[in-house]
Amino acid sequence: MSIFALQSLAGGFLDEDLHHFNKKFDDWCIQFESYEEAMDIVQTLENEETIDVVEITPLSYPKYFFPTLQGTIYATRQIEDNIICVTEPVMGANFRIAICNLKTKQVRVTKTHYKTIPSIEGAFANFGE
């Protein structure tokens, strides 16, 4: 499951108006189902050499696929039909592990709180094993 978007070499995703770049990928950004479809649009734009076609997947951009996922995502990995994320729900809060189900699109956050990234690394690395 992936989609394709147009990204500026300076960062940001092309908005649906085909003139502005959003810092974060959101519902207003233009998206395509195939690389070829995206390339067709790139070739019609001015400064096409400054725009890349990028593939967006649940691993690379989980917030887009799971809109209820809150906070900053620091790491992701896939275990079977789940995307496991290290999150900081709000700035300065304890870190948590979020389990995002690819089939149901539901997000469940574990109850355990971790104060630092090193303290969560072991739990994240061994999650599901």
pLDDT, tens only, 38-68:
999 999 998 888 899 999 998 888 988 898 8
- Same domain membership, residue 48 and residue 16: yes
- Same domain membership, residue 14 and residue 45: yes
Based on the structure, what is the number of domains in the chain? 2
- Same domain membership, residue 87 and residue 50: no
- Same domain membership, residue 78 and residue 47: no
Looking at the DSSP assignment, which residues form a beta bridge with residue 117? none
- Same domain membership, residue 109 and residue 78: yes
pLDDT greater than 60 at residue 129: no
Boundary (domain end) residue, out of 56, 75, 91: 56
- Same domain membership, residue 20 and residue 73: no
pLDDT greater than 70 at residue 4: yes
pLDDT of residue 126: 81
- Same domain membership, residue 52 and residue 11: yes
The secondary structure of the chain, three-state, reads CCEEEEEECCCCEEECCCCCEECCCCCCECEECCHHHHHHHHCCCCCHHHEEEEEECCCCCHHHHCCCCCCEEEEEEEECCEEEEEEECCCCCCEEEEEEECCCCCEEECCCCECCHHHHHHHHHCCCC
Domain range enclosing 39? 3-56
Boundary (domain end) residue, out of 14, 39, 56: 56
The model carries a pTM of: 0.75
- Same domain membership, residue 39 and residue 22: yes
